Amino acid sequence: MIGGLPDQTGSEPVTIGRYAVLTMDERALLIPQHQLHALEPAIDVQRSEAEDAGWIAVAGVNWPVYCLSEDLRPIREAPVDRHICVLLESGAGLLGVLSDQVVLLEQMELEILPLPRCMRTAGTPLQGLVLHAERVLCVTSANNLLDCVGLQRAPTDKSDPLQRLPGSAS
């Protein structure tokens, strides 16, 4: 079971931290703010003809950049609203994700709810759901998105950052 999600007793974990909400079409992803490295204009992304990924050079490093569909699979053509390239760094690897909007949430307490059975598919990067400001936010992490697009994690990766949140198993 993913750390930070409800245990068998049904109690919901409460986590406190700073988060970012990445919006892509109607999907809103909640990611710990410490995993955001930078926000760049999507126009700076260089597209690859052979792959679903592009790349962006920031501070002398080429970051792979993906555009994700509503079901969080890499797609070739980015919708016109995807004008922000969010650069994520987890210690396990680097990843750019094209987003419509990014909102930073200050220090706050969140209750992570389990995924409904219909959302628990193999390979999903989603770890749970959060209700915030009359919206449903999908909890994920840079590590989970790396896995989702099939990028290799760095060998130094020991655990998922969301597993280290208060109230979660280590």
64-78 pLDDT tens trace = 999 999 889 899 888
Residue 119 lies inside a defined structural domain of this protein: yes
Specify the number of domains making up the chain. 1
Q: What is the 3-state secondary structure (H, E, C) of 11-46?
A: CCCEEEEEEEEEEECCEEEEEEHHHEEEEEEHHHCE
Domain membership flag for residue 22: yes
Identify whether 118 is part of a domain. Answer: yes
Give residue 157's region: left, alpha or beta (phi > 0; psi -120 to 50).
beta
Residue type for position 50: A
Contact predicate 76/52, CB 8 Å: yes
Note the pLDDT tens digit of each residue in 76-102.
Answer: 888 999 999 999 998 878 999 999 999
CA-nearest of 128, 132, 123 to 165 is: 128
DSSP annotation of 142 reads H
Query: If you count DSSP H runs as helices and E runs as strands, how many of each does the chain have, helices first?
Result: 1, 12
* 167 is a domain residue: no
Structural domain for 100, as ranges: 14-151
**Domain-embedded: residue 168:** no
Would 129 be classed as within a structural domain? yes
Residue 81 is assigned to a structural domain of this protein? yes
Q: What is the pTM of this model?
A: 0.78
